[in-house]
Amino acid sequence: MRKNMRIFGICMLILVILVCSSVIFFLHETSPLTSEKNERIERIEVPSGMKIRTLADMLETKRLIRSGLSFYLAARYPLLGRIAGCSPIGLESGIYRIKSSMSTAEIFSLVSSGRQDYVRVSFPEGLTVSKTAQRLETAGVCSAADFTAVAKDRGFIAGYNITGDSLEGYLFPDTYFFTPGMDAREVAAIMVNNFFRHAEEIPAFRTMSAEDFRQTVVLASIIER
């Protein structure tokens, strides 16, 4: 009997050691890969419907986490998630700025929050379509060629009842917050809508014909330069 109890005790001790070792190893695998001093930063796109395993593999490939498997297990199994300090995860589509100095729990919190990585771009008065497009490309919002094409797309322009052959003068100078890799049409729409929103606040513009309005806008854009 004593021998059996001793064997049982040894087995339990081994089991406890294995469990503790596994927990310690798992905590290590879900801890930050690097310190803040040596961190790597990547913009990661999470499209709608993306699987956790796909994201985990991507983060490991880009050397942002220690283990894609541990990341996946923490998301898949609530008990392991709690050990890693993670809340239940539900991916929100968007583009996120993820650092290698972030723990699995911090990454979970970010990609389930919808707090996307925004790019701040300021446009002073008097910028031409070409210079606006170049500034957008430099900021990583969209390509200059795509934006220029949209700014001269007669179908897109006609949708705003603009009689000219480009959006010259209709891209409101302001500070905008875009997401990297946006569709150029969406970017142009934001800027043109902002222009008309401000124009509506000027009583004289409300009674002008489309052509008179265009001429006024063109003249104003020339003066601003």
Work out the average pLDDT over 124-144.
93
What backbone phi and psi angles, to 5 degrees, belong to 26?
-65, -40
Work out the average pLDDT over 204-219.
55
- The span from the CA of 97 to the CA of 115, in Å, is 9
* Residue 150 clears pLDDT 50, i.e. is over it: yes
Residue scoring higher pLDDT (135 or 80): 135
| Amino acid at the residue 61 | T
pLDDT of residue 53: 92
Any idea which architecture 29-111 has in CATH? 2-Layer Sandwich (3.30)
* Residue 216 clears pLDDT 60, i.e. is over it: no
Domain range summary for the chain, segments of one domain joined by + = 29-111, 119-224
pLDDT bucket at 134, cuts 50 / 70 / 90 = very high
pLDDT of residue 85: 75
* Residue 102 clears pLDDT 80, i.e. is over it: yes
pLDDT of residue 204: 54
- The span from the CA of 140 to the CA of 173, in Å, is 18
pLDDT of residue 223: 45
pLDDT of residue 218: 52
- Structure tokens that stand for 2 in this block: 């004593």
Sign, CA torsion 176/181/186/189:
positive
> What does 76-137 look like in DSSP terms, one character per residue?
H-HHHHHHTTPPP-----EEEEEETTS-HHHHHHHHTTT----EEEE--TT--HHHHHHHHH
Query: In whole numbers, what is the pLDDT of the chain averaged over residues?
Result: 83
Q: pTM here? A: 0.56
Burial of 162 (0-12, 13-18, 19+ CB in 10 A): buried
pLDDT of residue 217: 55
| Amino acid at the residue 188 | A
- The span from the CA of 93 to the CA of 14, in Å, is 44
* Residue 208 clears pLDDT 70, i.e. is over it: no
pLDDT of residue 91: 86
- The span from the CA of 79 to the CA of 153, in Å, is 54
- The span from the CA of 49 to the CA of 3, in Å, is 57
% of the chain exceeding 90 in pLDDT? 32
